[in-house]
Structure 1
């Protein structure tokens, strides 16, 4: 029997960020492997006119929790949603709820975080923050990484006698195995780039092809998190241990290889209603990046918006393209570098697990087949994020063929127009043109004469 699964049985667990990508997968795994746990407290706010309970039912009715309902039919009774707002003092939790949490909670998984790289710091007046932010973050690329470091410092300084561990995942992607391959429900990480490329919006990326794409499946992160929770509570390490959950050291895959596999998958399972045929090229040159942004990104967007205006519709492509290019600029720091992370604690924990726990809570990324994972990732985006029917694949392929023919026709027309303008302005170009026409005419006459003699 799994020692880790047994450990969580009968426990009261608090999860922050339970409505987020990682938090939902963590909650699903807990219910599926430890259905006899007592309760999971989740902090949330009403959203889009929904009550807390309505939001809980919406989460439980998703595809992600289908297997949970088989092993834990009363799962909705084991979730206690508590109103909270992490932007307020004491999270705006009521005194009654706070007292319940303090007296009943056994384990806390803090997963809540902003996933925006350029969120402003909110300590002082905006004008002061804008002035001092560059000095505060120093060599760090953005406020996201800076505040992560601050959070760890606070944990280290204020933890007191609490048993605490820190888990640092790299770029979190779709599920690898559990509860099924390819599940994803947000645009963060590689998902947004895959959609942009698959829909034909993104054609060039400033990235280093040989840089390691340190993507880690979300279920791998969750398995390590639960194993760390068990180890920290049972073995009580004397210091706060940091666990790196990465793939680069054990099983590296570079951006170039990943891009090739993503494009190959689009040939088999294309996205519907693509703007252009999927294609993306890597460049590490600033001038070429600006050139491709102008020619292959902004120019087509402007042309399409002009077409929308002509047909009486609201232009939207330029705005969308500008948002995409801004997102790419924020990611450039990470897709042009490789890092090596210490995995000593992660390997130590793996050796502490029984064979059964290594199977049930598998975080050994060396077993990951990247080609298979990437294909499942693209398929998962199509099914779970874009909500596209697999029965529409033949039509999507036909649409890509039409886009290819339009592409060839447009390039041919552009070439002929450019050549015609060149002939009109250059005597040398006219001489070359007349030579080519004369040569083709003589060649055609020769073949006609040869065929006449044979007859």
Structure 2
């Protein structure tokens, strides 16, 4: 009965499709007839940006999507890779022929001019009116050369192309709320970089990989990894190269599952907190280095898409000759500007809703805790991750299968060390520009492109995220919830039996040691 109710609650809001109205909103009117160029269109943000533009602003002329060429892959295969995702189902129902408005363009942000051929570059420069630069490397441990090419050079090259685009109306760059993470206060402004974009490019282009690796810690300084460091440098490139252009920049925090659109709870990756909740639900992640009282700056992906669209619209309509030298607007989009959510509350709610719909793919009972103390976390990692990993590999080898657990948990440890920096700190984010942007939207645009998180239920967001993770990440449909609950109970019993035996043997060993000493 509970499963049926949960399924009905989820499906009531599952496919949000706006009906066509005779009167278009201001943002819809702005995008009428536009030709758009999207980088990062195969990623999480990019897919939902394309989906939203086509579903709500179908009167656009065309969307060019930058994609990397893959050996043996035909164009139809690349279309399928992008548009077979569940997030496009509402769009397919509303506009079955939407692919007529999409054209893939071969390129690569690792290469100069984002890898565009001379013909493609000319086409983009002649036809495009709005650019959404979403592409970025999201690997925190990316080699500095690659991170610089993808996150810095691509920005510079696109802006230089934009200067030669006669029809350009808007350029939106997606940064990150943590680009200036060495600072305690992050306002909606540009900051002086530790090194200019040109200087950094000269460094990585003139040195060998081994040398770059050696000097990377010196270059990073107070930045914890190459991702946020190169994002900070990219912002300075935006400020320098974007003068006189209709450029806007947003800094979203930790982007998580969709709140409402196009389907609630949609997710297609295990980066960041998505990987943590999935790993905990599967029973393979049991400790996380985080301060329970620090803020979990989670923002739903569909709200991020909305502020991206609103930001480029607002910049375009306010851009006139007398305004061309005005400061490029920066928008911080973080949860704490609207509501407060701590890591402790987040995982309490995740557990609450996780046990309502446990996955059938769990391999062990939920046994997860936040540990702010690094020593306690390392001990927990050793006893709860490393030792079980060796035991699992021993079993795998005994049955003739490849040992994978130890190597897997080494990657887990690396991942946890990366996110610890962000889960143990709070920042004071300014949001005046973001609040002002919201106030400029008409009532209709607030309904279509709203990003106000004040009235949105955090409980509901996390609940949808847990359900969405089960469906879209773990590929475990709601119909298997009864089976998942049975497995949850069995694993719970097994867990406490193992804990009981472990405690028994520890006591026996302690007694033997005690007797031998006296």
TM-score normalised by the chain length of structure 2? 0.80
- State whether structure 2 residue 139 is matched by structure 1 residue 94: no
Q: Which residue of 1 aligns with 2:93?
A: 70
| Structure-1 separation of matches of 2:453 and 2:283 | 31
Check the 8 A contact 1:175/1:217 in 2, yes or no.
yes
Any residues of structure 2 matched to 1:292-303 within 5 Å, and which?
A: 292-303=380-391
- State whether structure 2 residue 437 is matched by structure 1 residue 349: yes
CA distance 1:284–1:48, change in 2 (3 Å): farther
Q: Which residue of 1 aligns with 2:27?
A: 4
**Which of 334, 338, 346 matches 1:246?**
334
Query: Would you say how many aligned residue pairs link Structure 1 and Structure 2?
Result: 430
Q: Which residue of 1 aligns with 2:455?
A: 367
Q: Once the 2 structures are TM-superposed, how far is the Cα of residue 269 of structure 1 from its aligned partner?
A: 0.8
- State whether structure 2 residue 115 is matched by structure 1 residue 79: no
- State whether structure 2 residue 484 is matched by structure 1 residue 396: yes
Please state whether the residue corresponding to 1:178 is helix, strand or coil.
coil
Check the 8 A contact 1:266/1:278 in 2, yes or no.
no
Which is worse superposed, 7-16 or 131-140?
Answer: 131-140
Q: Once the 2 structures are TM-superposed, how far is the Cα of residue 311 of structure 1 from its aligned partner?
A: 2.2
Any residues of structure 2 matched to 1:184-199 within 5 Å, and which?
A: 184-199=267-282
Q: Which residue of 1 aligns with 2:193?
A: none
| Structure-2 separation of matches of 1:414 and 1:250 | 46
**Which of 403, 406, 419 matches 1:315?**
403
Q: Once the 2 structures are TM-superposed, how far is the Cα of residue 341 of structure 1 from its aligned partner?
A: 1.0
- State whether structure 2 residue 37 is matched by structure 1 residue 14: yes
Which is worse superposed, 266-275 or 327-336?
Answer: 266-275
| Structure-2 separation of matches of 1:295 and 1:388 | 29
RMSD, matched Cα: 1.9
Which is worse superposed, 84-93 or 48-57?
Answer: 48-57
Q: Once the 2 structures are TM-superposed, how far is the Cα of residue 345 of structure 1 from its aligned partner?
A: 0.6
Q: Once the 2 structures are TM-superposed, how far is the Cα of residue 47 of structure 1 from its aligned partner?
A: 3.2
TM-score normalised by the chain length of structure 1? 0.91
**Which of 450, 453, 467 matches 1:379?**
467
Please state whether the residue corresponding to 1:81 is helix, strand or coil.
strand
Please state whether the residue corresponding to 1:404 is helix, strand or coil.
helix
Q: Once the 2 structures are TM-superposed, how far is the Cα of residue 198 of structure 1 from its aligned partner?
A: 0.6
Name stretches of at least 5 consecutive residues in structure 1 with no aligned partner: 431-455
- State whether structure 2 residue 504 is matched by structure 1 residue 416: yes
Q: Once the 2 structures are TM-superposed, how far is the Cα of residue 39 of structure 1 from its aligned partner?
A: 0.2
Q: Which residue of 2 aligns with 1:146?
A: 229
Name stretches of at least 5 consecutive residues in structure 2 with no aligned partner: 1-23, 146-203
| Structure-1 separation of matches of 2:128 and 2:56 | 19
Asked which structure has the greater CA Rg, the reply is 1
| Structure-2 separation of matches of 1:415 and 1:146 | 46
- Deviation digits for residues 90-144 of structure 1, max 9, x if unmatched? 2232222111111110000000000011111111311221232122111111111
Q: Once the 2 structures are TM-superposed, how far is the Cα of residue 35 of structure 1 from its aligned partner?
A: 0.7
Check the 8 A contact 1:269/1:379 in 2, yes or no.
yes
- Deviation digits for residues 146-177 of structure 1, max 9, x if unmatched? 10011111111112421101111000001011
Q: Which residue of 1 aligns with 2:173?
A: none
- State whether structure 2 residue 128 is matched by structure 1 residue 112: no
CA distance 1:127–1:415, change in 2 (3 Å): closer
Please state whether the residue corresponding to 1:258 is helix, strand or coil.
helix
CA distance 1:417–1:69, change in 2 (3 Å): closer
